[in-house]
Structure 1
Amino acid sequence: MEQRQSDDPNETRTPASANPKSVERPGNNQSASAKQSAEQPANGQPGNEQRRREASQRHTQQRDNRQPNNRSTNQRDEHQQNTRPERESKDAQSSDNGTNQRNERNAPRNERDRNQGQRDRQQTTERETNSPEPANRLQQSPESTARVDRDNAIVREAGSPERLVIGISLGDYNGIGPEVILKALQYNRLQKICTPVIYGSMRVLNRYRNLLNLKDWNLNGAPTIAQISHKMTNVITCWPDQNQDIQPGHVTAEAGQAAFACLQRAVDDLKAGKLDALVTAPINKYNIQSEEFKFPGHTEYLAQEFDVQDNLMFMVSEQLRVGVVTGHVPLGRVRQNVTRDRIAQKLTLMMQSLRQDFGIDKPKIAVLGLNPHAGEEGLLGNEEQEIIKPLIADWRNKGQLVFGPYPADGFFGTRAYTKFDAVLAMYHDQGLIPFKAIAFEEGVNFTAGMAAVRTSPDHGTAYDIAGKNLADETSMLQAIYTAVDVARHRKEFLELEANSLKKQPIDIK
Structure 2
Amino acid sequence: MTQLPLLALTMGDPCGIGPEIAAKAFHSPKAHENMRPLLVGDEATMARAVETTGVPLTIRTVSSVSEARFTPGTMDLLPVSSLAPDEVVPGAPTARTGQAMIDAITRSVDLALSGECDAMVTGPIHKVAMKLAGSEFHGHTELIASRTRATEFAMMMAGDRLKVVLVTIHIPLQEVVRQLTPAKITDLISLTARSLTERFGVESPRIGVAGLNPHAGEEGLFGDEESRLIAPAVETARALHPECAISDPLPPDTVFFKAAEGHYDAVVCMYHDQGLIPFKMVHFHDGVNTTLGLPIIRTSVDHGTAYDIAWKNIASEGSLLSAMHMAAMQARNRIRR
Matched with 1:223 is 63
1:279 pairs, out of 114, 121, 125, with 121
- Is the CA contact 1:366–1:406 (under 8 Å) kept in the aligned structure 2? yes
The one-letter code matched in structure 1 to 2:305 is T
- Deviation, 1:208, is 1.6
2:23 pairs, out of 182, 187, 194, with 182
Structure scoring higher RCO (CA < 8 A, sep ≥ 6) equals 2
Matched with 2:75 is 233
- Deviation, 1:426, is 0.7
SS at match of 2:234: helix
- Deviation, 1:266, is 1.4
- Is the CA contact 1:187–1:217 (under 8 Å) kept in the aligned structure 2? no
1:425 pairs, out of 260, 269, 284, with 269
Q: Distance in 1 between matches of 2:94 and 2:255?
A: 41
- Deviation, 1:456, is 0.5
Q: Distance in 1 between matches of 2:258 and 2:10?
A: 35
- Deviation string for 1:134-155 (max 9, x for gaps)? xxxxxxxxxxxxxxxxxxxxxx
Q: Distance in 2 between matches of 1:334 and 1:324?
A: 11
Matched with 1:67 is none
Matched with 1:204 is 45
Q: Distance in 1 between matches of 2:34 and 2:168?
A: 35
Matched with 1:461 is 305
The one-letter code matched in structure 1 to 2:42 is S
Matched with 2:314 is 470
Q: Distance in 1 between matches of 2:49 and 2:326?
A: 26
Q: Distance in 2 between matches of 1:170 and 1:230?
A: 17
The one-letter code matched in structure 1 to 2:323 is A
SS at match of 1:343: helix
Q: Distance in 1 between matches of 2:246 and 2:258?
A: 17
Aligned residues: 332
2:246 pairs, out of 396, 402, 407, with 402
The one-letter code matched in structure 2 to 1:402 is I
- Is the CA contact 2:20–2:52 (under 8 Å) kept in the aligned structure 1? no
- Deviation string for 1:314-348 (max 9, x for gaps)? 11111111111113334343222211111111111
- Is the CA contact 2:95–2:132 (under 8 Å) kept in the aligned structure 1? no
- Is the CA contact 1:442–1:474 (under 8 Å) kept in the aligned structure 2? yes
Instruction: Give TM-score, length-normalised by structure 2.
Output: 0.91
Q: CA RMSD in A?
A: 2.1
Matched with 2:222 is 380
Matched, 1:486 2:330: yes
Matched, 1:304 2:146: yes
- Is the CA contact 2:186–2:234 (under 8 Å) kept in the aligned structure 1? no
Runs (4 or more) in structure 1 with deviation over 4 Å come to: 414-417
Gaps of 5+ in 1: 1-159, 494-509
- Deviation, 1:257, is 2.1
- Deviation string for 1:365-396 (max 9, x for gaps)? 11111223322322332211111112223444
Matched with 1:436 is 280
- Is the CA contact 1:353–1:449 (under 8 Å) kept in the aligned structure 2? yes
Q: Distance in 2 between matches of 1:193 and 1:397?
A: 38
- Is the CA contact 1:248–1:466 (under 8 Å) kept in the aligned structure 2? yes
Q: Distance in 1 between matches of 2:26 and 2:302?
A: 18
